[in-house]
Structure 1
Amino acid sequence: MTVAAFMLGDEILFVLGGLALFIFGINLMSDSLKAAAGNKLKMIIEKSTNTPLKGIFVGIALTVLMQTSSGTTALMIGLLRAGLLTLPQSVGIIMGANIGTTVTAFIIGLPVADYGLAMLFVGVIMTFIKQRKVHHIGGILAGLGMIFVGLNTMSMGLKPIASTQAAESMFLAFSNNWLLGTVFGTLFTTLVQSSSASIGILQRLYALNAEGIDSIALTGVVPILLGANIGTTITAFLASLGGNTESKRAAFVHILFNVVSAVIFLIFLLPYEALVLWFETRYLQPYSMLTIAFAHAFQNIVMTFILFFFIKQMIFLAKFFVKDKFEKQIPEEMFDEKLIHESPVLALEFVKKAILYMGSIVKDYFEIAREYSFKENSKLVQEAYTHEMMIDTYDQKLHDYLIKISQTGLDPKDSLKLSRDLDTIRDFERIGDHLTNIVEFFVERYQESQLLSEEGGRDLAELYQVLEDMLNHTLNCFETNSVEVAQHVVELEDVVDDMEEKFRYRYIERLKNGDVTFVIAANFADILANLERIGDHLLNIASSVIEPMYIPQSIAVPKPHEVDKDI
């Protein structure tokens, strides 16, 4: 066995390298599609999912557009965590995403793989063009080309491997044992976190039979296919960790849907296999890759149709297993446009509650950034980007909602309150941007193994503590309209300014004395500047409580180091 593995070393590398190209191509195409669509993806989800049926179509469209059900469910989980999507709405998206992801298998099965290198070449050339649309289209083409090149590379390695006695024994075991195939499909897809990759390999293996190589039979393919559908739920599960109750329930529904689908089709495994074989014999060539695509699509479409009538029961089970916890929640009436026409003043009150909820997300993000500043943890980086998306979404939603309220004709007092609210959400959004900058600065530092010096760590911890007090008092004064608490925020902002200046001077002295090494990631001064700017935005919020007509000092007379670089 060891000798065989050694002799097939190059072939194994072809398979692993091809798989890496395939997964990278999927991610590149997905990222380019999302970048081309911009924030429209989130808006589509929010505005078009008021019923589960609409959610299904949105889930299909988004997954076809993004070429990844994992990306759709992760985006959906983010909106659930922000409280901008309900559990019933998300169930439809989950079902639609399962149908949409089958399109990738059909693309793989099309006879265009020979053009993969041409697509890759043209796509890469286009990515050098700075024009945004052309650049993103280039990324899409390059990703698609990489998928086909990866598949062809895998095929070069799979042919000799599939011809070995060990492979034939394994294929025979899968064909004779549905449980083994299902478990393997689940574990492999969980490992690579891409059902498209699992199914792509299956399609190539199955197609080898047409070349005279006794590869895996249809009876072995179908259970692995069902297992792959279970394994793909890992992304939604991971995205829900650390989230609110609703996001965890959505992940539960996603797992439940795919597990129930697999179980039902395993019960009717023989008729299912017979149907797939009939379809291949009637409409396709023997051992066509499109056979696997059809089997995948048939399962997801049929189960979506069946389980659509059991959405309430799935939600009931999700609520039974994932219990309610006391959590911050936005008011249910938030963003209800009917309320604007019925009572714009009441709508304005709900806006205040939503802004406080946005502030609580900012506070959570602040804690994530602080923790990451002192200890590297890749999970915290993902949490950071999720919180940034949540804050940006709230900024846009609240801004649009407030503009609609302003058009109803408020009295001067309420109009003043609305203007203050617009400034407040902008300040919270800016704080989120600065926290993202800080996280990215520390990503650079960790990549360069540029750890904080002992003195630098103490300075940073001290500054974070003062800013935490500022943030807590800012949220307090905004909620209670307490001028006294707001005055305390103003006092603390002076402390932050003094600390930033003092700590920056200390850092320069450490550089001069050689106590710290200057490298690319020597960005301690930039980190201090971003923290100081957070203090400025907190000052703006508190000052508007003291004086509603307050003009932010950074706008009236900006200091040189206070100019907002992220505008």
Structure 2
Amino acid sequence: MIEKISYLFGFVGGLGMFLYGMHIMADGMQKTAGGKMQHFLSKITDNRVTAIMLGALITAIIQSSGATTVMVVGFVSAGVLTLVQAVGVIMGANIGTTITAWVVSIGTIGESMELLKPGFYAPVLIGIGAGLIIFTKSDKKKTIGEILIGLGMLFMGLDLMAGNIKPFTTLPIFSEAFRVLGGNPILGIIVGIVVTALMQSSSASVGILQTLAFNGVVTTSAAIYITLGQNIGSCVTAIISSMGSSRTAKRAAAIHLLFNAIGAIVFGILGFVVFSINTNLANHTINAVEISLFHTLFNFTMTSLLFPFANLLVKLSGMIVIGKNDEVVEEAKEPVLQLDERVLLSPAFAVQTANNEVARMGNIALKSLKAAISAINTKSIDDIETVAKCEKTLDDMQEALTKFLIKVDNLSLSESQKKHINNLFNMVTDIERVGDHADNISENAKYMIDNNLEFSDLGKEDLAEISKDSIEAFEIAINASAGDALRAVRKVNKLEDKVDMLEDEFREKHIERLSKGDCHPQSGIAFLDIISNLERISDHATNIVGYVKNEI
């Protein structure tokens, strides 16, 4: 009895090592590939093939089709991806998840090939990984160490599971259970759905099935039906995530479910017919590699079959999720965050989300600044209202982004990512202050309109020059990280020096005009306040490029 309990504990421990190893390995891979993943959003186009390839790549990296789909639900909810684009990414996610099955199948190579068995090298991988983490200072090498430790723990966990389940494989309950499951497609699919839904990971449930197959207790028919159910069960995470979200987000989760449900129906019927005719094949003992082959065949086949029908899947999702259409995000609402917190499932995506939102905040501040200067020149009430709306949005974004950045900072990030998040904190503050200065300029414009004031021709020329340089400095600053950063830093610093000089020069000239009576005193006060705000804006631009320079 004690011995059986010991085997049970060993199996549970092996499962824990397998799951934790997969988590560590995926986390390390995300850090390593973070830069590439950050181009994900910018590369998503209406090209469905590209979307499929990117979905497969991202899922292969983060080792979870469920996590990828949850993030896609968030993208769609925010209006960043359309439902048609989401179809391609979801199809790709199903292909990408097959990588995990192949990793597991490699880990279950037979005892006769001991030297080729990954578990044989697992302790060495963990040792090398630990050495890299403890004795190196390089952020990149530490991340590689994490990947090696995760891979080693994954293979050791597989060995533990396989070794501790082996004594039980001769029990009649196993052969009887798989005989029943193999003869009943619906029951087999339900078991696959339930196990995967409970574990919240198709990769983990497939890994357990492959471990059982390695010990020779799983029949082909049972494995096929259970695998089909596991694919459906992987949709549960996204479905739960979409609850309480927009109708469009629910439709994205429904598309994922439709894809795998249609596949289960097609392959389930086909399998039932084939296994009814060929009972020897149905009762044949399947191995881990063959499960991986089927898993891959299923996802590639269903992607090929449903690829031309993406629009139909979108329509079907609309029939399943009934309600008011909210797919189009109204521009007037100016959502505070374009992407929701589902992206926190992937640190690399979370960092890029934060980066994108800070850039968007910068562009809103730039829009506000240009409108404020326009209000001074044209006396436009519409421009003043634009500044007021932008200022409200910037205040809301600062609050929301600060909270979001705190959550991102608490994720498992590399040192360079942590440094970038810290810089984003500072950028948010500087950008919001630029919005405040734009609002101050706008208030001066309203004051001049209300009091029917005008600047002298020389005052207008001076204001045009300093505002042009100040706006240019800020515009270059918020786009610095997207181009030649060093060139941007040099340009902004040069402009900031020029604005400082102009502010001093124009202040003296304007005071001189005031003393001569060439300018109205009330206009003079407004002019001095405006150029002071423009000078402060150039200072904030210098701060922003300074943060960018710190990361070069």
| TM class, shorter-length | 0.5 to 0.7
Closer, same or farther: CA 414–89 of 1 in aligned 2, 3 Å: farther
- 1:424 to partner: Cα distance: 8.5
Q: 2-side partners of 1:55 and 1:232: how far apart?
A: 20
Q: 1-side partners of 2:172 and 2:164: how far apart?
A: 15
In 2, are the aligned partners of 1:77 and 1:240 still within 8 Å (CA)?
yes
- 1:194 to partner: Cα distance: 1.2
Aligned residue number for residue 518 of structure 2: none
Q: Secondary structure at the match of 1:108?
A: helix
What are the within-5 Å matches in structure 2 for residues 53-452 of structure 1?
A: 53-110=49-106, 111-128=117-134, 129-209=136-216, 215-270=217-272, 287-325=286-324, 330=329, 353=332, 357-359=334-336, 392-396=355-359, 399=362, 413=374, 430-436=398-404
In 1, are the aligned partners of 2:54 and 2:92 still within 8 Å (CA)?
yes
Bigger Rg, structure 1 or 2: 2
In 2, are the aligned partners of 1:388 and 1:436 still within 8 Å (CA)?
no
Q: 1-side partners of 2:375 and 2:81: how far apart?
A: 29
In 2, are the aligned partners of 1:78 and 1:389 still within 8 Å (CA)?
no
Q: 2-side partners of 1:224 and 1:441: how far apart?
A: 39
Aligned residue number for residue 503 of structure 1: none
Q: 2-side partners of 1:238 and 1:388: how far apart?
A: 24
In 2, are the aligned partners of 1:361 and 1:391 still within 8 Å (CA)?
no
In 2, are the aligned partners of 1:195 and 1:228 still within 8 Å (CA)?
yes
Aligned residue number for residue 35 of structure 1: 31
- 1:99 to partner: Cα distance: 0.9
In 1, are the aligned partners of 2:364 and 2:394 still within 8 Å (CA)?
no
Closer, same or farther: CA 56–441 of 1 in aligned 2, 3 Å: closer
Q: 2-side partners of 1:140 and 1:277: how far apart?
A: 42
Closer, same or farther: CA 186–102 of 1 in aligned 2, 3 Å: same
In 2, are the aligned partners of 1:46 and 1:84 still within 8 Å (CA)?
no
Aligned residue number for residue 26 of structure 1: 22
Q: 1-side partners of 2:100 and 2:363: how far apart?
A: 36
Cα shift readout 1:475-524 (whole Å, capped 9, x = no counterpart)? 9x99xx89999xxxxxxxxxxxxxxxxxxxxxxxxxxxxxxxxxxxxxxx
Relative contact order (C-alpha < 8 Å, sep 6+): which is higher? 2
In 1, are the aligned partners of 2:351 and 2:408 still within 8 Å (CA)?
no
Q: 2-side partners of 1:276 and 1:174: how far apart?
A: 14
- 1:96 to partner: Cα distance: 0.8
Q: 2-side partners of 1:431 and 1:438: how far apart?
A: 11
The range that moved more, 45-54 or 188-197, is 45-54
- 1:158 to partner: Cα distance: 1.1
- 1:120 to partner: Cα distance: 2.2
Q: Secondary structure at the match of 2:39?
A: helix
- 1:244 to partner: Cα distance: 2.5
Q: 2-side partners of 1:259 and 1:548: how far apart?
A: 64
The range that moved more, 52-61 or 294-303, is 52-61
Aligned residues: 416
Q: 2-side partners of 1:302 and 1:249: how far apart?
A: 23
The amino acid of 1:413's aligned partner reads S
- 1:97 to partner: Cα distance: 0.8
- 1:411 to partner: Cα distance: 12
Q: 2-side partners of 1:388 and 1:90: how far apart?
A: 21
The amino acid of 2:403's aligned partner reads L
- 1:65 to partner: Cα distance: 2.3
Closer, same or farther: CA 413–325 of 1 in aligned 2, 3 Å: same
Q: What root-mean-square deviation, in Å, do the aligned CA atoms of Structure 1 and Structure 2 show? A: 5.0
Closer, same or farther: CA 131–230 of 1 in aligned 2, 3 Å: same
Q: 1-side partners of 2:376 and 2:211: how far apart?
A: 64
Q: 2-side partners of 1:397 and 1:277: how far apart?
A: 62
Query: TM-score, normalised to structure 2's length?
Result: 0.63
In 2, are the aligned partners of 1:78 and 1:386 still within 8 Å (CA)?
no
What are the within-5 Å matches in structure 2 for residues 484-523 of structure 1?
A: none
Closer, same or farther: CA 11–164 of 1 in aligned 2, 3 Å: same
In 1, are the aligned partners of 2:251 and 2:318 still within 8 Å (CA)?
yes
Closer, same or farther: CA 295–441 of 1 in aligned 2, 3 Å: closer
Q: 1-side partners of 2:118 and 2:406: how far apart?
A: 45
In 2, are the aligned partners of 1:46 and 1:85 still within 8 Å (CA)?
no
Q: 2-side partners of 1:226 and 1:432: how far apart?
A: 41
Matched, 1:13 2:9: yes
Closer, same or farther: CA 399–484 of 1 in aligned 2, 3 Å: closer
